[in-house]
Amino acid sequence: MSDRLVVSETSVMRLAPHIVFRFDDIRQRWTMMAPERLMLPDEQAVEILHLVDGNASVGAIVDALAARYTQAPRELIAKDVTAMLQDLADKGCLSNDLAD
Amino acid sequence: MTSPIDPPLALLAELTHRCPLHCPYCSNPVELERAAGELTEEEWRRVLGEAAALGVLQVHFSGGEPMARRDLVSLIAAANDHGLYGNLITSGTLGGEREIAAFAAAGLKHVQLSFQDFAPANGDRIAGLAGAHAKKTRFAAAVRAAGLPLTLNMVVHRQNLDGLPQMIDMALTLGARRIEIAHVQYYAWALANRAALLPSRGQLDEATRIVEVARRNLRGVLTIDHVVPDYYGVRPKSCMSGWGRQFLNVTPSGKAVPCHAAESLPGIVFPSIRESNLADIWYRSDAFNRFRGTDWMAEPCRSCERREIDWGGCRCQAFLLAGDASRADPVCALSPDHGVVEAARQEAEKAPDAFVYRHYS
């Protein structure tokens, strides 16, 4: 039995090995496939998912987004990003095991 | 209904009806397909390619026991080459470490493994196969050793539902990330055994309570899917998310059907992939257009505000219980045929536990 992955700004994560995040040419949109589950991330989620690369911490991802969207307070971005990644972690889509 | 038809999301590839188990709730048709009538590997490869081109994203390899097919590993690889997300739905009673390692190398993404109970003796009794539970346990370890995520599929009913807490513990012990508490659906063989299988209201309420507690305690550790059996619902399930909306099944002999049980419906000719391609079947066949959308509906569905939520419920259940596939699903409390479902629930409160086993022979 594994422990729950709790997402914080210091977390460094990647997509779990069995998650496929790819562009669907037929529907012309990004899709994320998980065991018996199909997710259709919105534009914002797609942008965040591209930044989850096994190198950047959640804090660094928030910084990158805050630099792009200067009207939004960093605090608000941090809250949204952490909530989204925690939800994905709870669905088993993320991993903090960075060894290959 | 004039709205455009969306491409399908998933293909259920029913590779074979052969299976070493004899479950009394088997969801396969009462008439099983013979091995000689099964599609060839080449035909399945064509189906996989056409499915991907049509927009299918996930393929579920199922059966029967799909591991009874020797070409399974090459079909998994073919699906993966087409960008399809491969899922194996298995009883885990044929093969083990060597096969699973080969499937993982071929690009399989996930395994759904069935168990008939947490207790080996009762599990083997329900499966009608001695030693099945022990094989499944070893199989689960092989799946995890190969690095593949594991879902346990627990088929539940009156004769095992009380062991739900132990089933959840078993999922954790075996390293599963997900467990499906799958109540028997009463079609085909299961309908013949309904009186011995349908849980009582009290059992069901207790199961629901256990699931709610476990979901809170195991958040982020184990996902628990639990769908209440529709005989106890007020509104029908959105069966297959609607006829011909998201799912496509291909049977062992190559018939394309909108759902697993649809071949039981009379008066519909289901097209064969041996005679047409999947795109024609999906968009243009009479069978896939027969109950698509809402135009086919009669009252009370036609004017119901939920008509595009539950899509009239299940066509097969309407036929099996009300004798007409175009009526409302009788599990809906608004259906004029709802009395048959109430009668089945009452019957379940007092019926004996004897099964009618099935045999592939």
Summarize pLDDT for B81-104 with one digit per residue, the tens.
999 999 999 999 999 999 999 999
> Closest residue of B to A89, CA-based?
B220
Do B221 and A4 make contact, defined as CB atoms within 8 angstroms? yes
Q: Indicate the residue of A3, A17, A38 with minimum beta-carbon distance to B221.
A: A3
3-state SS assignment for residue B181: strand
DSSP B7-29: PPSEEEEE--S--S---TT--S-
Enter the tokens of residue B58. Answer: 């996930």
Label residue B71 exposed, middle or buried (CB < 10 Å: 0-12, 13-18, 19+).
middle
Q: What is this model's ipTM?
A: 0.91
- Report the gap between the CA of B52 and the closest CA in chain A (Å): 9
CB < 8 Å to A5, chain B: 220
> Which pairing describes strands B150-156 and A29-34: parallel, antiparallel, or unpaired?
unpaired
Q: Is the pLDDT at B305 greater than 50, yes or no?
A: yes
Q: Indicate the residue of B7, B149, B220 with minimum beta-carbon distance to A4.
A: B220
CA-closest candidate to residue B27, choices B264, B233, B227: B264
Do A1 and B55 make contact, defined as CB atoms within 8 angstroms? no
Q: Is the pLDDT at B297 greater than 50, yes or no?
A: yes
Instruction: Report how far apart the first and last C-alpha atoms of chain B are (Å, whole number).
Output: 44
CB < 8 Å to B221, chain A: 1-4
Tell me the C-alpha distance between A45 and B288, whole Å.
34
With a CB-CB cutoff of 8 Å, which residues 12-71 of chain A face chain B? 16-18, 20, 22, 24, 26-27, 31, 33, 35-36, 38
Q: Band of the pLDDT at A15, cuts 50, 70, 90?
A: very high
pLDDT tens digits along B157-200 = 998 999 999 999 999 999 999 999 999 988 877 888 888 889 98
Q: Quick one: average pLDDT of B56-66?
A: 96
The region, left, alpha or beta by phi > 0 then psi within -120 to 50, assigned to residue B187 is beta
Q: Is the pLDDT at B1 greater than 50, yes or no?
A: no
Supply the pLDDT for residue B136.
Answer: 98
Q: Is the pLDDT at B29 greater than 80, yes or no?
A: no
Do A18 and B149 make contact, defined as CB atoms within 8 angstroms? yes
Supply the pLDDT for residue B3.
Answer: 66
Q: Is the pLDDT at B352 greater than 70, yes or no?
A: no
Angle of helix B339-348 versus helix B315-322 axis, rounded to 10: 80
CA-closest candidate to residue A19, choices A38, A43, A40, A45: A38
The answer for residues whose C-beta is within 8 angstroms of residue B112's C-beta and 6 or more apart is A35, A36, B87, B88, B89, B90, B150, B151, B152, B153, B180
Q: Quick one: average pLDDT of A69-77?
A: 94
Dihedral sign, Cα of residue B247, residue B252, residue B255, residue B259: negative
Do B57 and A1 make contact, defined as CB atoms within 8 angstroms? no
Enter the tokens of residue B29. Answer: 């048709």
> Closest residue of B to A16, CA-based?
B149
Q: Is the pLDDT at B31 greater than 80, yes or no?
A: no
Enter the tokens of residue B12. Answer: 């259920």
Tell me the percentage of chain B whose pLDDT exceeds 90.
77
Q: Indicate the residue of A18, A22, A24 with minimum beta-carbon distance to B109.
A: A18
**How many CB atoms within 10 Å of residue A65?**
19
CA-closest candidate to residue B260, choices B24, B88, B27, B20: B27
Q: Is the pLDDT at B348 greater than 80, yes or no?
A: no
Tell me the C-alpha distance between B282 and B242, whole Å.
14
Tell me the C-alpha distance between A3 and A1, whole Å.
7
The answer for residues whose C-beta is within 8 angstroms of residue B34's C-beta and 6 or more apart is none
Q: Is the pLDDT at B139 greater than 90, yes or no?
A: yes
- Report the gap between the CA of A73 and the closest CA in chain B (Å): 29
> Closest residue of A to B108, CA-based?
A18
With an 8 Å Cβ cutoff, is B109 touching chain A? Answer: yes
Which stretches of B7-142 are assigned E, i.e. beta strand? 10-14, 58-62, 85-90, 110-115
Supply the pLDDT for residue B138.
Answer: 97
Tell me the percentage of chain B whose pLDDT exceeds 70.
96
Q: Is the pLDDT at B48 greater than 90, yes or no?
A: yes
pLDDT tens digits along B214-248 = 999 999 999 999 978 888 888 998 999 999 999 99
Supply the pLDDT for residue B24.
Answer: 83
Q: Indicate the residue of A4, A16, A33 with minimum beta-carbon distance to B219.
A: A4
The enclosing H or E element of B341 equals helix B339-348
With an 8 Å Cβ cutoff, is B83 touching chain A? Answer: yes
